[in-house]
Amino acid sequence: MTFVDPATYLQLLALVQNSIIAAAVLGIVGGLIGVFVMQRDMAFAVHGISELSFAGAAAALLLGVNVVAGSIVGSLLAAALIGVLGAKARDRNSIIGVLMPFGLGLGILFLALYPGRSGNKFGLLTGQIISVDLPQLGLLIAISIVVLVALFIVWRPLTFDSLDPEVASARGVPSRALSIVFMTLLGLTVAVSVQIIGALLVLALLVTPAAAALRVSSSPVLVPVLSMIFGFVSAVGGILLAIGGSLPISPYITTISFAIYLVCRLIGSRAKVAR
């Protein structure tokens, strides 16, 4: 592994600045939605959605249409299927278990049929942010901001519904509509993540930061804030490290995110002993 000299690093930095912005926004949104992924126990669903998102993106690549759009279609389809068929937690896991290999297989089929450069092929599975062109980056950033705003608007009712659906519903929270909204937001976030970090590694930005934050706090304010910071540091830190060397970005992101989790676990268990 070789690192470039500082002058070249700065030049590279300027070249990838839009990728960094996209990663930063995704890190923040992923950290935030991850708080609800944990509360609603949907980590496995995130993985399931990302495989169908991958299939959608691969299909788009093959057909020569917008890859981000393909990714979103796959994501939303998976989110809707899981939302409709897997309302109960027990059903949900088996539905996801069935959907996931099917999506992954479909995606691999589309890639095998795709005659273009092979560099693009692996990108969807393991991350390719640097090769995303400018208009698509803009689309990713716009989607992330939409999710961010929507999450803020539904924050309280969604928290209520995640904790206690019966009481929330009795108090007038539209439980069913909220769950559709949440699955849609989750689908969009996953579609963006697939473009940046790759379908196989989505959990590193959508679950790990929130899981880490929950280790050190149970405050409804501190947990989302920490989770957003962790997601941001992982995503942006990963790119900053990667452009200096010759390795791909994703392993940096997953390693930083995992390291943060480990540190939080350690702090969390210390705090418990101290109590």
Partner 1 sequence: MTPSEALPVPAPVLSIRGGALGFGARALWSGLDLEVNPGEFIAVLGGNGTGKTSLLRAMLGEQKLDSGVVLVDGHPAHRGHRRIGYIPQQKIVAPGTPLRGRDLVMLGVNGQRFGPPITTRDDRAAVDALLTAVGAETFADRPLGSLSGGEQQRLRVAQALADDPNLLLCDEPLMSLDLQHQRAVSELIDRRRQQHGTAVVFVTHDINPVLSMVDRVLYLAQGRFTIGTPDEVLRDDVLSRLYGTPVEVFRSRGRVIVVGAPEAEHHHEVIA
Residues that bind partner 1 (CB under 8 A): 35, 38-41, 152-157, 159-160, 162-164, 166-173, 210-211, 213-214, 217-220, 222-224
Q: Shortest approach of partner 1 to residue 169 CB, angstroms?
A: 7
Both tokens of 170, joined, read 């009795």
Nearest in space to 16 (alpha carbons), one of 251, 231, 241, 258: 241
3 or 152, CB closer to partner 1?
152
74 or 157, CB closer to partner 1?
157
35 or 95, CB closer to partner 1?
35
Q: Shortest approach of partner 1 to residue 173 CB, angstroms?
A: 5
142 or 167, CB closer to partner 1?
167
Under a CB-based contact definition with an 8 Å cutoff, are residues 83 and 154 in contact?
A: no
Q: Shortest approach of partner 1 to residue 191 CB, angstroms?
A: 23
Round to whole Å and give the CA distance between 105 and 111. 10
Q: Shortest approach of partner 1 to residue 77 CB, angstroms?
A: 26
- Other residues' Cβ atoms within 10 Å of the Cβ of residue 220: 11
Distant-in-sequence, close-in-space partners of 76: CB < 8 Å, separation ≥ 6? 184, 187, 188, 191
Under a CB-based contact definition with an 8 Å cutoff, are residues 210 and 31 in contact?
A: yes
Q: Shortest approach of partner 1 to residue 78 CB, angstroms?
A: 22
65 or 163, CB closer to partner 1?
163
Computed over its alpha carbons, how large is the radius of gyration of the chain? Answer: 19
